[in-house]
Amino acid sequence: DIQMTQSPSSLSASVGDRVTISCRASQSIGSFLHWYQQKPGKAPKLLIYAASSLESGVPSRFSGSRSGTDYTLTIGSLQPEDFATYYCQQTYSTLYTFGPGTEVDIK
């Protein structure tokens, strides 16, 4: 099975900060990597698909990139509504594993 790791597990940031979250796959998954945002009590929301494509309706301050088996979600300028937990997920294999999540809270 493909394992997904994320770092950090949590971070504190201020409005306006640039935030980066990392995700690593245990083996090559190409661009089959997606990012989700989840707020408490809500369903996850797709932000980035195929490593770097912005889902329709998602603000352009969110971006994704890939280097080998390392993936990065960047929030260009953190907004109050961005405080949430972020998950990566691979759909390369048919066991669609999620990363453990990164909680972004207010400094």
Where do contacts with another protein occur on this chain (CB under 8 A)?
1, 34, 36, 38, 42-46, 48-50, 53, 55, 85, 87, 89, 91, 94-101
Return the number of the residue (62 or 87) whose C-beta is nearest another protein: 87
Least CB distance from residue 43 to another protein, whole Å? 4
Q: How far is CA 104 from the centre of its chain?
A: 11
Residue 52 has which token pair? 């770097």
Task: Give the shortest CB-20-to-another protein separation in angstroms.
Answer: 20
Torsion angle in degrees (nearest 10) through CA of 37, 7, 21, 43 = 0
Q: Which is nearer to another protein, 78 or 89 (CB)?
A: 89
**CA 103 to chain centroid:** 10
Instruction: Measure the CA–CA gap between 82 and 86, rounded to whole angstroms.
Output: 10
Cis peptide before 8 (omega within 30 of 0): yes
Of 17 and 55, nearer to another protein (C-beta) is 55
What amino acid is encoded at 73 in this protein? Answer: L
The distance of closest approach from Cβ of residue 55 to another protein in the complex, given in angstroms and rounded to an integer, is 7
Tell me whether residue 82 or residue 89 sits nearer to another protein (CB atom).
89
We find the least distance from the C-beta atom of residue 38 to another protein, in angstroms, to be 8
